[in-house]
Structures are given as structure tokens and as C-alpha cells.
Chains A and B, each alone.
Chain A
Amino acid sequence: MLLRHHRRSPLAGDAFAFANADSRIPNPGTKASPASGLLRVLLLLVLAFAGLAHAQAIEPMPFKDHAQELRFQHLTRQLRCPMCQNETLADSNAPIARDLRNQIFRMMQQGKSDEQIKQYLVARYSSFVLYDPPLGPHTWLLWFGPLLILLGGAGVVLVAIRRRSRANSAATTDAAAGNGPADNGDDW
């Protein structure tokens, strides 16, 4: 996440725009030499990539290729850190998250599939580590609870509407007994 963000490097893009603007509009007050523009670009590039160097210093992992790195990042984003619980394994800096990232990396080098790695973690830390919990007897309330609440709410609304329309029609029959047009109570 961090890596990719820095690799796209919006700051460096800005630097180019800045430098171009600098060379296009010569400022009479200063010597707008191309060299100073280049220096500025270099400086901003260095600043922009300082963050990248830092991000890599946290965890230099010798991935086989870029595809494996992407697979690793994708997988660790789907897994929850057991210690901090509201962070993914990719984001967390907890020691256990670091250990588990290393373990996942090792398993990837051994040729284990994403599914095997997930099973390995679930066997040790329960399905808690999965952000996408499996559908089972112990999770049915989690999956269908919201639907039950929605149905309950719909029931309450239905009863309230029935009651109100009944009260309305009772009132209109009273009115119709006197005079005026009959209201069927459906105007809401």
C-alpha cells in the first residue's frame, strides 16, 4: 500500500510541473537557468523518494518478482492482525503482525497457495483472522442478523401503517356521515 503509493509518487509529478512552469515563465528578477530547474527537480525527487526508502527499510522482503509482491500485499490486506484487531496484517506494526507477515512470505516461497496460507492461519488463530468470515452455524447471526433486523423493522412499519389507515378510514366514515367527499384514506 505504502510502497505503491510512493511508487506512483505524486510529489515527483508535481516537481515536474513546477520545473516546467519555472522554465516557461522566465522571471526577470532571478536567473532562471535550466540548471537551477534541474536541481530543483532532483531535490524534490530525493525528498519524494526519501519516504520510499523508509518504507522499504521497515521490511525488506526479497520477493521473487513483482507479481509475488502484489500477491503478498493482496493477501495480507485480507487478513486481520490478531493483536490489534482493527488493522490488517499489511498495515499493522505489531510484533505478531510482523512475524505472521514473515511466515506468510516463507510459505509463499515454499509454493503454498493463498488458500493454504489462510487455512494455516485459521487453524491457529480461528476464522477471526479472516476479514471475510465463512458462512457457518456460528456465523449465521453475523450474516443474517441485519436481514432479521430489517424484516423486524419492516413488520413494525407495516403494523403502524395498517393501524393509521384504519384510524383514518374510521375518521373519514365519521366525516362522510355528515357531508363532504368520501376519503378512502389512500392519499398518503
Chain B
Amino acid sequence: MSRLLPFIGFMLLVGLFGFGIWWNTQHDPNAIPTPLLNKPAPEFNLPKLYEPAQTVSKADLLGRPYLLNVFASWCVECGVEHPVLTAEGPTLGVELVGYNYKDAPDDAKGWLAKHGNPYALLIADEPGHTAIDFGVYGAPESFLIDAKGVIRYKHIGPLTPEVVAKELKPAIAAMLKEAP
């Protein structure tokens, strides 16, 4: 027994390290939890990307759920996410609202012209002040906001088909079941 003790200790360490590796494949180690989950989304009032004279506020979007997708033309991962949004967007059952983050409007428009525009509505936050209220620290990030303006789900990093199927769609289903 006592001779087995070091071996058991070793196996415990192996188990611990294996768990650490598995955990990091299942979770984004750079994602930090948002304290805003299940809380009302922050107030905002931002210009539309294509009509900067018009602004959109949080109150304007109340009444119907939407997926607020933070993106930018300078963001490499957004290019990875974009085809997923284009393909899955129409099947989600909620509107896609594009949140153009710290981007020159012309760059954003050029990027959308090149890759296609999956968004029903596009708002622009060039200075990035409102994004701080949302706890945004990079792009892409996505917020699922319900009809009452409450944040129901947040994803940091690109939405992949797996994330859409395993996390986003169940979150949307739960939200729609609660308040159709």
C-alpha cells in the first residue's frame, strides 16, 4: 500500500492536469463572466451606420427580442463568424442587430459590401464609450436581449455552429417559451 502511494499521487496529478486541459478545450480561457447577465441592458443611443443622422436607442428596440452582435472590420475573428451569422441568422427567430465597434464607418460599409450584410439593423459606436457600459472588451461579442430589454445570454468570441446549436438556440428557445 505505502509503495503504491507515490503512484496514486502521480495519478491524481495526471487526473488534475487532464481535467485542466479538458476544461480549457470546453471553455474560452479569455472569456470573463459578464455581471450583466439577466440584468437590463444598459441604455444606449447610437447613430445608424448607414444613416448617421438617425439614432437608435434601447427604448426603440423594446418589444421584440434581438441578437446584438458586436463586430468591426478590423476584427479578424469577425470574418470567421460572419458566414455563420449569414447562414444561421435567418433560422434563429430573432432579429440580428449589428453593433459596429470602434470602426471607421467607411471601413465598416466596405467590409459589409464585401462579405454581405446579415443584419436587420446596424448601429455604430465609433468612440466605443457605450460599449464600456455593455462590458465589451473586444470583438466579436454577442448579446441576446429579450423583448423587455434584459440580457439573456452573452457570448464572447466568434459564434461557431457548435455555439449556436448548443448555447444560443437553447437560450433563444428558453426566452421565447417564457415570453412568446
Contacts and interface: CB of A to CB of B under 8 A. Distances in A.
Contacts of A103: 129, 132
Contacts of B137: 82-83, 96, 125
Interface of B is mostly: loop
Interface stretch (B28-36, B53-61, B111-119): B28-36
A126 B132 contact: no
Given A96-B138, A100-B132, A124-B132, A85 B35 contact: no
Interface in A104-125: 122-125
B44 to A, nearest CB: 13
A123 B134 CA distance: 10
B102 A124 contact: no
A124 B135 contact: yes
B4 to A, nearest CB: 14
A128 B36 contact: no
Given A82-B32, A85-B30, A95-B102, A124 B129 contact: no
Contacts of A122: 35
A126 B30 CA distance: 14
Nearest to B9: A156
A183 interface: no
A99 interface: yes
Interface string B1-28: 0100000000000000000000000000
Contacts of B36: 124
Among B35, B132, B137, find the residue whose CB has the most chain A CB atoms closer than 10 A: B137
A123 B132 contact: no
Nearest to B135: A124
B13 to A, nearest CB: 13
Contacts of B129: 99, 103
A109 to B, nearest CB: 15
Interface in B102-116: 102
25 contacts: A82-B32, A82-B137, A83-B137, A95-B102, A96-B128, A96-B136, A96-B137, A96-B138, A99-B128, A99-B131, A99-B132, A100-B132, A122-B35, A124-B35, A124-B132, A124-B133, A124-B134, A125-B32, A125-B35, A125-B135, A125-B137, A126-B33, A128-B32, A128-B33, A163-B2
